Amino acid sequence: MSAASGPVVVLVGPPGAGKTTVGTVIARRLGVALRDTDADIEAAEGRPIPEIFVEDGEPRFRELERRAVRAALTEHDGVVSLGGGAVLDPGTRALLTGLPVVFLDVALADAIRRVGLDTPRPLLAVNPRKQWRTLMEQRRPLYTEVARAVVGTEGRDPEEVAQAVLDALELKDA
Ligand SMILES: Nc1ncnc2c1ncn2[C@@H]1O[C@H](COP(=O)(O)OP(=O)(O)O)[C@@H](O)[C@H]1O
Ligand SMILES: O=C(O)C1=C[C@@H](OP(=O)(O)O)[C@@H](O)[C@H](O)C1
Ligand SMILES: [Mg+2]
pLDDT one-digit tens code per residue, 66-96: 999 999 999 999 999 999 999 999 999 999 9
Residues 6 or more apart whose CB falls under 8 angstroms from that of 173 comprise 29, 30, 166
The pLDDT mean for the chain works out to 95
Say whether pLDDT at 11 is over 90. Answer: yes
CA distance 159 to 16: 16
Say whether pLDDT at 105 is over 90. Answer: yes
pTM (predicted TM-score):
0.97
Domains recognised in the chain with CATH numbers? 9-168 (3.40.50.300)
How high is the pLDDT of residue 174? 81
Angle at 19 between CA 28 and CA 66, to 5 degrees: 110
Going by alpha carbons, the residue nearest to atom 9 of ligand 1 is 18
Q: Encode burial over 93-116: b for 16+ CB neighbours within 10 A, e otherwise.
A: bebbeebbbbbbbbeeeebbebbe
Comparing CA positions, the residue from 71, 16, 47, 30 lying closest to residue 163 is 30
CA distance 35 to 106: 22
Convert the pLDDT of each residue in 15-38 to its tens digit.
999 999 999 999 999 999 999 999
How high is the pLDDT of residue 2? 46
Query: To test ligand 1's pocket by mutation, which of 114, 118, 124 has the most ligand atoms within 8 angstroms of CB?
Result: 114
Q: Which residues surround ligand 3, an ion (CB under 5 A)?
A: 19-20
How high is the pLDDT of residue 1? 44
How high is the pLDDT of residue 118? 78
3 vs 32, higher pLDDT: 32
What separation in Å is there between the alpha carbon of 160 and the centre of ligand 2? 23
Mean pLDDT across 49-56: 97
Mean pLDDT across 144-172: 97
